[in-house]
Structure 1
Amino acid sequence: MEAFLLYSLIFTLLYVFLSFIYFIAKANTSNPNVPPGSIGWPVLGENIDMAVSGPEKYISDRMRRYSSEVFKTSILGEKMAVFCGAAGNKFLFSNENSLLTTWWPQSLTKPLLGPTDAQNTVRKVALLNRSFIHEILKPENLKHYVPVMDSLAKEHIAQEWAPFGEVKELAKLREVKVYDLSKSYTFALACKLFLSIEGHDEVKRLSDPFILVTSGMFSLPLNLPGTAYNRAMKGGNMMRRQLLHVIKERKAEAMSSAGKAADEGRDLLARLLSATDEEGQHMNEEEICNNLVGLLIASYDTTSAAITFVLKYLAELPHIYDQVYKEQMEIAKSKGPNERLSWEDIQKMKYSWNVACEALRLFPPGQGAFREAVTDFTYAGFTIPKGWKTFWCVYSTHKNPKYFSEPEKFDPSRFEGSGPAPFTFVPFGGGPRMCPGKEYARLEVLVFMHNVVTNFKMEKLVPNEKIVYHASPVPVNGLPVRLIPHHN
């Protein structure tokens, strides 16, 4: 009985204390000029609300309740103004480097870039990326990747999707989980193109810690045993150790004249090792590691989600699949027996890319992006104070009937001609910070579509599979499908 009374007293005092903090915090943030909204509870903010309802419902509910232009919230431990609609997207994209600067949550920067001074590091990496990464990911520099992507896709399909011939349990092998295999392919491809790493064991040494990081990098940054953030921190440490080991080995190889000649132009790491800034200085190993981490994360999680949802709709909608199949078979028939896809073939995949864009509209792999206000500024009659974080979100436009009629309907024709209105379709962002990997992702998605569609039809095995949200949308069962091989 005494123990019960003691616990009751402790609970009551804790509740009163938290309530006191809550109302003090609320009073201190009652500036009538800031956008309407709620900052939720101290520390927790509205993280739980967003996690429970999902980002799409969370955004649409608050647009209805507070403002369709901008509202305030508190997520990831930060006061935040969420900008909505095409006008909000345009404003944030257009004021990069004047009113706003790059900012990423601590839960992402510390696991990815190391626990010390991660926020300053991410700004430094952003400056490096702006010129160099944009340059190497330009279409003219990506042309050479297409045959390599095609070769690896064919190899992946043959090994993981289609070993029908010599196996007794035929039915089981015809059922695959699209999401899991897409992640396997996209990470293996990134390892090959960026680092020249091949082989199951070598790739797995990097992919295992990456999985830990991506599953916890947008969680509340509580570094306690058993939390997603704690696992992300451990994964980040393992990931950086692996990458730094590879960087040191390649750097040592490149020191010799013979090694330097062999390494030149070999992959992205070779270019990072030889790159210099405006003052002629080479990047150090930590800076190279940070750049590689950013590119690997971007190419892994979002691209595999994009491929997954493209294939989801191809499995669900036979009339869409048939048109994609027709387009892809015309390209396949124009190739020789061992001839790989080329840049010119990709340009012929117009309908296929419209299908991919519509999948990206309905299930965008990236949820949006953050910025930090470097000065007080006004938007839509509200004041955004210096130091507040801002967020633009794909869901304020992608499924908004103001911009897309019948927004839940899958309709690739939306992307014919001039396509959607500016700043409404933003899966890759916009402005100076538009995702530099947009063209890389387009090539990867289209090459993979080609290799799946020219080999199989697909039947979904879980008709109304639930979608959950981590860093990207994820089908809870991994999108299991039955493969039906074409009989040529």
Structure 2
Amino acid sequence: MDTLVIMSTLPYTLPLLIIFVSLFLFFNFLQKPNANVPPGSNGWPVVGESINFALSGPQEFVEKRTKKYSQDTFRTSLFGKKMSVFCGPVANKFIFSSDAKLLTSWWPLSVRKALYFPEFVEASTDKTSAIMFSFIHNILKPEALKQYIPVMDSMAQKHVEINWVRNEVVKVFPVSKKYTFDLACRLFMNVDAEHVTSLAKHFSLIISGLFSVPIDLPGTAYNRAMKGGKLMREEIMKIIADRKKEMLENNFETASRTDFLSRMLLLTDANNEFISEKVICNNIVGLLFASYETTSTGVSFVLKYLAQLPHIYHEVYKEQMEIANSKSEGELLKWEDIQKMRYSWNVVCETLRLVPPALGGFREVANDFSFAGFTIPRGWKTFWMVHTTNKNPKYFPDPEKFDPSRFEGTGPVPYTFVPFGGGSRMCPGKEYGRLQILVFLHNIVTKFKLEIVNPREKIVFRSFPVPSEGLPLRIIRHKT
């Protein structure tokens, strides 16, 4: 019966198969691209190598292609675009130091359309965004973030009391996401729990299709991301309108307001006009996105390694208890305490090396240029990835070994460890992420010993590395 069904559909499926295979051959072999472009493969029409990238994960994807094509750069097609993947410290330095005449900022269409209003998807940098860019960099500088450390500590304490203390086993990944998102909503917008819960639902839709082929059909990850983005922007625009109304009624008296949204609403451009609400919304979305998955992923895997490696846990515990014992009862963490967490930060860095929360970054080629003997044509995209160096034994001997001492002294060779990028485009949230992770780590380690429940739990790649079971850890309260 099955054979008859297959035979009966052959007259219809065979021509489609022939067309698809022909397109594949044309896409990869019959085209005559510039012979000097990097070696590689364009993959299948439309989807390129995106499916291979998703199934194999970024580490395996890069390793196979650098061995087959080039250690410096290779050609591929991801997210519907031709791009050159840049590999190694020399490539990283080149990308980070290049000016806008060679490379400009770019993100996949799926990211831009999910996060931003339609009219901003193709917009280039203008004076308004430059003002906002400067503002965000200023509010995320270490000196500006110092005042938020007690808030982070207080929220971490409440989070531990609610989500950890009464449990024997905690699924760390979802619980960490809740903490980091709650904190971001508090610092960025100062909204209530109802808004936080609603926004988190929208973000989960966005993340599911953030780095996907932009095919907007019902049921696709891209379609879900678009819906989540629309709902999220609508809710944030309502929050902005309510806050603006509140501030107008109080004659913009914001002395008691320390959240970023209230301060954004006071920004003006060169004509002394307030920044548009949609621009503010876009930037709030960007801040929430940056803190939603990456920080919580970092926190989760730090705790995973501490649970698996008792000798590492012991050193972190000793450092954190010295800080805890130096505090008076009820006294919250401050900047000086964070600066004492040197070994703990080395542990975080080693975690980010082994399990990078972020892929890397994209750029668009503004003008043809040469790199490593190849020509990168104008209009192509470039993609620098943390995975091209993090596990390379040339830069990190015995790369699968968890060894925080790699980050002592001068640390790794420059441009080999770049979880936050580099140069003028270094992630502005680096210090925010550092503080958030260390404060959270302090509140867990000083209260609990950790044990891994399933040492064989798989890590799957869904835009970000995700523990398949949510990373359940057994927690044992320290005796007081």
Q: Which residue of 1 aligns with 2:88?
A: 85
Q: Which residue of 2 aligns with 1:195?
A: 189
| Cα-to-partner distance string for 1:4-44 (whole Å, 9 max, x where unaligned) | 65631221111222233233333335321000000111112
Distance between the aligned counterparts of 2:465 and 2:127, measured in 1? 29
TM-score relative to the length of structure 1: 0.95
| Cα-to-partner distance string for 1:66-85 (whole Å, 9 max, x where unaligned) | 00000000010000100000
Q: Which residue of 1 aligns with 2:231?
A: 238
Distance between the aligned counterparts of 1:157 and 1:474, measured in 2? 22
| Alignment of structure 1 residues 369-408 onto 2, 5 Å | 369-408=361-400
| Alignment of structure 1 residues 352-363 onto 2, 5 Å | 352-363=344-355
Amino acid at match of 2:21: S
Distance between the aligned counterparts of 1:474 and 1:2, measured in 2? 43
Closer/same/farther in 2, CA of residues 124 and 62 from structure 1, 3 Å limit: farther
Distance between the aligned counterparts of 1:122 and 1:45, measured in 2? 29
1:132 aligns with 2:115: no
1:183 aligns with 2:177: yes
1:54 aligns with 2:47: no
Q: Which residue of 2 aligns with 1:43?
A: 46
Between 1:361-370 and 1:120-129, the stretch displaced more is: 120-129
SS in 1 for 2:84: strand
Contact 1:102–1:370 (Cα < 8 Å) also in 2: yes
Q: Which residue of 1 aligns with 2:423?
A: 431
Q: Which residue of 1 aligns with 2:241?
A: 248
SS in 2 for 1:261: coil
| Cα-to-partner distance string for 1:283-320 (whole Å, 9 max, x where unaligned) | 10100000000000001110000001111111110000
| Cα-to-partner distance string for 1:42-73 (whole Å, 9 max, x where unaligned) | 11211111112111000011000100000000
Q: Which residue of 2 aligns with 1:300?
A: 292
Q: Which residue of 1 aligns with 2:303?
A: 311
Contact 2:89–2:389 (Cα < 8 Å) also in 1: yes
1:162 aligns with 2:165: yes
Contact 1:316–1:459 (Cα < 8 Å) also in 2: yes
Contact 2:128–2:269 (Cα < 8 Å) also in 1: no
Contact 1:125–1:290 (Cα < 8 Å) also in 2: no
Match of 2:279 among 276, 287, 290: 287
| Cα-to-partner distance string for 1:188-244 (whole Å, 9 max, x where unaligned) | 000100111133x23101111011101111111111111111111111111001100
Match of 2:263 among 266, 271, 287: 271
Identity of aligned residues (%): 54
Distance between the aligned counterparts of 2:269 and 2:395, measured in 1? 42
Q: Offset of 1:98 from its aligned partner?
A: 2.4
Closer/same/farther in 2, CA of residues 322 and 188 from structure 1, 3 Å limit: same
Amino acid at match of 1:183: K
TM-score relative to the length of structure 2: 0.96
| Cα-to-partner distance string for 1:429-453 (whole Å, 9 max, x where unaligned) | 1111100000000000000000000
Between 1:201-210 and 1:80-89, the stretch displaced more is: 201-210
Match of 1:17 among 2, 16, 19: 19
SS in 2 for 1:260: coil
Distance between the aligned counterparts of 1:327 and 1:479, measured in 2? 25
Contact 1:104–1:119 (Cα < 8 Å) also in 2: no
| Cα-to-partner distance string for 1:236-292 (whole Å, 9 max, x where unaligned) | 111001100000011111113x35213664210011111123443321010000000
Distance between the aligned counterparts of 1:24 and 1:402, measured in 2? 38
Distance between the aligned counterparts of 1:299 and 1:464, measured in 2? 28
Ranges in structure 2 where 5+ consecutive residues have no aligned partner: none
Match of 1:417 among 399, 409, 415: 409
Q: Which residue of 2 aligns with 1:168?
A: none
Match of 1:342 among 306, 309, 334: 334
Q: Which residue of 2 aligns with 1:456?
A: 448
Q: Which residue of 2 aligns with 1:169?
A: none
Contact 1:467–1:473 (Cα < 8 Å) also in 2: yes
Contact 1:103–1:123 (Cα < 8 Å) also in 2: no
Match of 1:209 among 202, 213, 217: 202
Amino acid at match of 2:287: L
Match of 1:8 among 7, 10, 13: 10
Match of 1:106 among 109, 123, 136: 109
Amino acid at match of 2:26: I
RMSD: 1.7
Residues matched between the structures, number: 477
Q: Which residue of 2 aligns with 1:221?
A: 214
Amino acid at match of 1:187: F
Amino acid at match of 1:80: M
